Structure 1
Amino acid sequence: MKAIVVDIGGTNLRVALFEHNQLKQIKRDKVCSFAVSKLKGQELYQAFLSQLESTLLPYLEQYPDCPLAIAFPGPVSPSGMVTSAPTLWGDEVRRVDFLGDCKKRFQRRVVLMNDISAAVWRYAGKSVGKSADKSAETSLKGSEDFCLFTISSGVGNKVFLGGKVLLNEHGLGGELGHCQLAFDEYALPCDCGGSGHLGALASGRGIEQLSRHMASAAPAEFAVSELARLCREDISQIDTRKFIAALQSGDEFCRRVLKRSQHYLVQAMSHLYHSIGIKRFIFIGGFCCAAGQLYLDNLKQVVREFSWFGLAESDMENMCRLGALDDDHSLLGLGHYLSGGAYDA
């Protein structure tokens, strides 16, 4: 199976050729988003489409018969309508026929799905058939139910239940990043325009602003932290790179920020477990990847502070896993999805 696969993120645009269960000819660009462009509304959307076309052109010319599969960072309806993409377009662009626009521009059949839905198929084990990714040590056996979380520019998630990704008729399901969990002084602004959302507190961008908020609230504690030293005591200079460096050095201030951030995340996990029985969680994404085992160890500590009806201590210990420490999840997932015969259906 050979396919051109695309992963659109809030920060990067990645394209590759999927062949023999591997990625080849990988290309990465900074994506045209509201964070880097002065354009707004339809002008921003058209600039993004032009960038996508320019990036894809060499692949389309070299592989004229290959299907094109795109993973998108927002809800995608079965008809290919994108309702919103806060990490990509903020609240400037809503309800666009992205699939239709791609078909017109690229003149071939296009498979479009949410980026986390695509990533799920990397970890769905035997349910994707012979193409299951052997390199992902966290692949689950058979059709074991699980939830995949991505902790990166935003927070996204998808539930794999009963052998399929759980979505409603509009492609919605797995938007816990925009579920409001904070209603007090921690109800920080989200890219979508809301406040107190999980993504505003637990994503990479969210942890940056949570760090700034907590540093402003406790200036004496921040002043003696390793993070303050790295930022020269300038709160505005806090970013994820400095935060992770300070966290890895054992900085207590950063550990306190991470614990509060993960407390909101575990609230969401608890709701999933107690409502539909999901008790396996896989974590991927740029921030999660960069923090690595330290992120997982701290998360497990927070998990143990919650009450989980019907779970033993060993169940809680095995509840959370890190995915493969790369950013190929959606690209490989798209390839596995197509290799499993879904494209021919």
Structure 2
Amino acid sequence: MSTAITVFDVGGTHIRQAWWLREGELRARTSRPSPSFKRFPNATAAELQDMMVRELSDAVTETPEAVVGVSFGAALDHRTGIVYASAPLWGDHSEPFDLQAALSARRPDVTWHIVNDVTAALLHAAAAPGRMGHRKVLLATISSGIACRTIDQRHGQISVDGCGLQGEIGHLPAVAELAGRPVTLNCDCGEQGHLAACSSGPGIAQMAHVLQQREPERWANSLLAQLIADGVAFERAFRSALDEQDSLAIELLDAVTAPVAAVLRTALCLDPEIDETVLTGGVVHGLGQHYRHALMGHLTRQGLYLTSERTPEWLEQRVTVSSPGEADSLAGAGIAACTGASVAS
């Protein structure tokens, strides 16, 4: 195996690429737009998939015994490399796609190692010295999509179900409310009422639109609305409004973190061996400690039966926000390729 491994992190918005050295260093990072249904609205899912295969395979340098690690933003079977669905990339298309086979067919000279992007982020985060002594680590990413993974550090195992999946929480049913009334929104996967529909990056924007419709006067008088009217992008305007303690922005954040808190509360209730829940992703990093503060507010007001009352620090100690680069899917793709923690390799 070459000392340097080509690694990709494929998301709904960008494809990141780098060289990963087995010592753990990433070099020569680049980024380019992903061929997604939002970028190419007239393309079929099959055409988008073909674009993706060409994007990845053609970017790998022809070298002897080339090894590639791919972190892929999709629900995929970790036993076979078959992609079941990727709402951010292909919308509501859910016909299985054998990504492993397609890449190997186009570049048979390459050894491909494919893992889900959340799995890759978890592999990197769990490798931190401070987490090596944990029993289990759960990583949840809140970005253009939502998902989580749990690793048993004692065995280095990320368990999967009968479809080779684990932690696809973004497509669980979720209860969301705004202005005292329930909200049901469409998810990118084509279904209604999923967690990602109200709490992912696009979901938060959808929730903001609902709040604008339900509370037009409050919206018009808010700092969030004023910043958007001045041409500030929604994500940046939301963070700035939270920095200034804008009441409407705080209400919006409270609404979109409540469904996430409900899932994490259940996970920690069912598996007390989870010693740390690491939050990561574009939404979490974009909003910083505002996000964790809102999440912990829910877990404080409605925590675990008896545990939160008798040992309130138990939950507080188990929810952390990753620093940028601490849960890097590019590095995780390298770890997967180097250790064999991947599919069909």
- Structure 2 unmatched ranges of 5 or more: none
SS at match of 2:6: strand
Q: Distance in 1 between matches of 2:165 and 2:320?
A: 25
**CA RMSD of superposed structures (Å):** 2.3
Q: Which AA in structure 2 matches 1:275?
A: L
Which of 170, 182, 198 is the matching residue for 1:201?
198
Is this contact kept in 2: 1:10–1:153, CA < 8 A? yes
Shift of 1:284: 0.8
Relative contact order: is structure 1 or structure 2 higher (C-alpha 8 Å, sep ≥ 6)? 2
Q: Does 1:169 align with 2:165?
A: no
Query: Identity of paired residues, percent?
Result: 25
- Structure 1 unmatched ranges of 5 or more: 126-132
Q: Give 4+ residue runs of structure 1 displaced > 6 Å after superposition.
A: none
Residues 66-113 of structure 1, C-alpha deviation per residue, up to 9 Å, x if partnerless? 311111111221111111111111113520111000111122221111
After superposition, residues 78-157 of structure 1 pair within 5 angstroms as: 78-92=79-93, 94-107=95-108, 108-125=110-127, 133=128, 139-157=130-148
Q: Distance in 2 between matches of 1:218 and 1:179?
A: 28
Residues 14-34 of structure 1, C-alpha deviation per residue, up to 9 Å, x if partnerless? 111101211011110010101
Cα distance change of structure 1 residues 287 and 64 upon mapping to structure 2, 3 Å threshold: farther
Q: Distance in 2 between matches of 1:29 and 1:233?
A: 28
Shift of 1:158: 0.8
Q: Distance in 1 between matches of 2:284 and 2:64?
A: 37
After superposition, residues 2-151 of structure 1 pair within 5 angstroms as: 2-19=4-21, 20-38=23-41, 39-54=43-58, 56-57=59-60, 60-61=61-62, 63-77=63-77, 78-92=79-93, 94-107=95-108, 108-125=110-127, 133=128, 139-151=130-142
Q: Does 1:283 align with 2:279?
A: yes
Cα distance change of structure 1 residues 218 and 292 upon mapping to structure 2, 3 Å threshold: same
Q: Larger deviation: 258-267 or 161-170?
A: 161-170
Cα distance change of structure 1 residues 313 and 327 upon mapping to structure 2, 3 Å threshold: closer
Shift of 1:238: 6.8
SS at match of 1:246: helix
Is this contact kept in 2: 1:85–1:94, CA < 8 A? no
Q: Which AA in structure 1 matches 2:184?
A: A
TM-score scaled to structure 1, two decimals?
A: 0.88
After superposition, residues 137-286 of structure 1 pair within 5 angstroms as: 139-161=130-152, 163-182=156-175, 185-232=182-229, 239-277=234-272, 278=274, 280-286=276-282
1:332 aligned residue: 331
Residues 241-260 of structure 1, C-alpha deviation per residue, up to 9 Å, x if partnerless? 22222222221111111111
Q: Distance in 2 between matches of 1:239 and 1:327?
A: 26
SS at match of 1:209: helix
Q: Does 1:323 align with 2:322?
A: yes
Shift of 1:216: 1.0
SS at match of 1:24: strand
TM-score scaled to structure 2, two decimals?
A: 0.88
